[in-house]
Structure formats: structure tokens, C-alpha cells
Amino acid sequence: MTLMTRFFVALHAACVLALLALTVALGDELPARIPLHFGANGQIDGWTNRSSWYLLPGIGAATFVLMTGLVIALPSRPELLNHPDKARLLRLPKTAQRAVIERITPVIAAMGLLVGLVFPVIQYAVWQGAHGRSTQWLGVTPFVLAGLPLLALPLLLTRLPREITRQEQALGRDAAAATRPPRR
């Protein structure tokens, strides 16, 4: 795992741990009824009971486990990658596959972190709304945060074919060099 990938995974882990800690710490202060849903204007438009307070952090932790598991598994299991150039990737030798995967896992880890940032924002809005405070600041914030990983998607979609081509060209040079007669 590259340093950049580790950095994004560590930030995502810190985000999840902070969310879990704050959820437990603030859970006793909640009234019996808490917000369940917010409209695009940030107004509460659905309510639920207090036990739902722990659901969102659970989903956030599960997302972390899934995204981190993918980042860890990809170098040894590139067939898990769902991409239009997957067949080209799998035709490469294992060392070349790992080199390609090493270049794209930071993007996947960053996408996981961006998704992970949505959960604390929503949890904070739930806490604010449960205490009768304004949640209008929320507005489209979760939608923007949830959309940020989509900005990284083109990077992933373009980086993978470039990296595969780079590996194919390197393999071609190596093969050509191996078949050339030695110089005298």
C-alpha cells in the first residue's frame, strides 16, 4: 500500500472513530424523537425514535470496512476491480497488474474518505435538529459531499487505462530487448 493510500485510509479511519466516539458521547443527551430525514433546504421532514441515532455511524463504519477491504484486496485480487479495461488489466503479468493497482488505489481510498465525510455532517445535523436548533445550514451539504467522490471517478476511469498502456509498453520494450541479438 502506498503512502498516499495509507494517508487516505488513516484519515477515513480517524473520521469513523470520531463519529463513533461523538455518537456514544452525545447519545444520552437526545430526546425520544430525532430527525430522520432532511429536505434539500435543510429542513427536517421526517422523524424517528432515538434508537436510530446509532444506525448512521454503523453504516459509516461498514462503508469504511468495505472501501478499505477493497483497497487492501485489490493488489492480490485485481479481478475485484469493476472497470471497462478490466480484461486488459488481467492479461498483464501479475507484477504489472500490481503496478497498475498501486497507482489507482490512492484514488479509491480518497473516494472512500470523501464518502466517509458525509456521515459526521449528517449525524451533527441530526443532533442539532433533535435539540430544536436550525439545520438550514445543512441544505445541500450532504449532496455536495456525496458528489465529491464522483469528481474522482473520471480520474480513476482515465488513470487505469493510462497505467495499463504504460505497463503494456514497458513489457513490449522488455520483449523487444530480449529478442535483439547482443551487440558486439
CB 110 within 8 A of CB 153: no
Please state the rounded mean pLDDT for residues 151-162. Answer: 83
* Residue 179 confidence (pLDDT): 58
Does the residue 73 lie in any domain? Answer: yes
Counting every residue written for the chain, the total comes to 184
| Cα–Cα distance measured from residue 150 to residue 145, given in angstroms and rounded to the nearest whole number | 10
- The answer as to whether 59 is a domain residue is yes
Q: Is residue 184 part of a domain?
A: no
Q: What are the pLDDT digits (tens) for 101-135? A: 999 999 899 989 988 988 998 899 899 999 999 88
Total count of domains within the chain: 1
72 lies in some domain: yes
Confirm whether 176 is domain-assigned. no
For residue 77, is pLDDT > 70?
yes
Question: How many helices, marked H, and strands, marked E, lie in the chain?
Answer: 6, 2
81 part of a folded domain: yes
In whole angstroms, how far apart are CA 176 and each of 90, 127, 172, 173? 22, 64, 6, 5
Dump pLDDT digits (tens) for 132-141. Answer: 998 887 777 7
109: domain range? Answer: 3-171
Question: Cα(111)–Cα(46) distance, rounded to whole angstroms?
Answer: 29
Quick check: is 161 in a domain? Answer: yes
